[in-house]
């Protein structure tokens, strides 16, 4: 599905970074791991700030476009094709993890978040934005399956012991390409791992 979507002309979700990420990028330090990076808009933005970034995604087509975007913007970006159901980040390497609209079944998301929490550097930051289950009834973007959309309560439980610097469900205008356009209900998280 994602290779087909990203094979279309242009950039499916645009070339500008996610708004929540842009507002809070100052909280991140490198190296950064960016999940479900797709065509690179978020990772390229972070690289333009001087951060070392690894963008991972299941779509080779998307990540090839990410490298094209990085070249156009004059930044270096590492990418890797992975299956998030089986991905374990190397321990103690990444100081920040970014997850923007990475919607996974609970059976995949919970163990992935546990592996991220375990292997993130002490003091490291997780920044996440996703659609909530309520959003699935709207036509302004995101998946149609409530089961793959986390709530704030889900995320609090999936990062136990982390300092929840910012955690809320909110309604905001999301304008990010053809598939994310309009007033949407999202969950936003910024959490810090204890030292």
Q: What is the mean pLDDT of the chain?
A: 93
pLDDT at residue 176, as a whole number: 79
Q: What token pair was written down for 53?
A: 């970034």
pLDDT at residue 148, as a whole number: 96
Model-level pTM?
A: 0.93
Domain count, the chain: 1
CATH of the domain at 125: 3.40.50.150
Band the pLDDT of 174: cuts 50, 70, 90: confident
| C-alpha Rg value of the chain to the nearest Å | 15
pLDDT at residue 60, as a whole number: 94
Tell me which of 2-6, 64-68, 152-156 is least confident.
2-6
**Per-residue model confidence as pLDDT tens digits over 89-110:** 999 999 999 999 999 999 999 9
pLDDT at residue 10, as a whole number: 67
Q: Which residues contact 125 (CB under 8 A, 6 or more apart)?
A: 27, 28, 29, 95, 96, 97, 190, 191, 192, 193
d(CA 153, CA 117): 17
* pLDDT at residue 160 is higher than 60: yes
Output the CA–CA distances (angstroms, integers) from residue 115 to 21, 96, 175, 190, in the order listed.
Answer: 22, 14, 31, 17
Q: Identify the burial level of 26 via C-beta atoms within 10 angstroms of its C-beta, where 0-12 means exposed, 13-18 middle and 19 or more buried.
A: exposed
Q: Identify the burial level of 2 via C-beta atoms within 10 angstroms of its C-beta, where 0-12 means exposed, 13-18 middle and 19 or more buried.
A: middle
**Per-residue model confidence as pLDDT tens digits over 65-87:** 999 999 999 999 999 999 999 99
**Residue located via tokens 């909280």:** 27
* pLDDT at residue 6 is higher than 60: no
Q: What's the domain range around 27?
A: 2-192
Sheet containing 78-81, strands listed edge to edge, beginning at the edge strand earlier in sequence: 78-81, 53-57, 32-35, 96-100, 125-131, 181-192, 163-175
pLDDT at residue 115, as a whole number: 98
Q: Identify the burial level of 168 via C-beta atoms within 10 angstroms of its C-beta, where 0-12 means exposed, 13-18 middle and 19 or more buried.
A: exposed
């Amino acid at each position: 599905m994602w290779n087909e979507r990203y094979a279309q002309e242009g950039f499916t979700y645009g070339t500008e970074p996610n708004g929540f990420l842009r507002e809070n990028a100052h909280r991140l330090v490198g190296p950064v791991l960016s999940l479900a990076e797709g065509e690179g808009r978020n990772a390229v933005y972070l690289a333009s700030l001087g951060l070392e970034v690894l963008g991972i995604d299941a779509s080779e087509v998307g990540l090839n476009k990410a490298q094209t975007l990085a070249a156009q913007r004059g930044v270096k970006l590492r990418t890797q094709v992975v299956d998030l159901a089986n991905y374990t980040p190397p321990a103690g390497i990444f100081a920040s993890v970014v997850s923007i609209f990475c919607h996974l079944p609970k059976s995949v998301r919970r163990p992935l978040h546990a592996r991220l929490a375990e292997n993130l550097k002490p003091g490291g930051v997780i920044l996440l934005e996703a659609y909530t289950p309520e959003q699935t009834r709207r036509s302004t973007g995101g998946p149609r399956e409530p089961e793959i959309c986390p709530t704030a309560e889900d995320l609090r439980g999936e990062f136990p012991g982390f300092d929840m610097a910012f955690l809320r469900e909110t309604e905001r205008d999301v304008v990010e390409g053809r598939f994310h356009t309009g007033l949407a209900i999202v969950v936003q998280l910024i959490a810090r791992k204890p030292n």
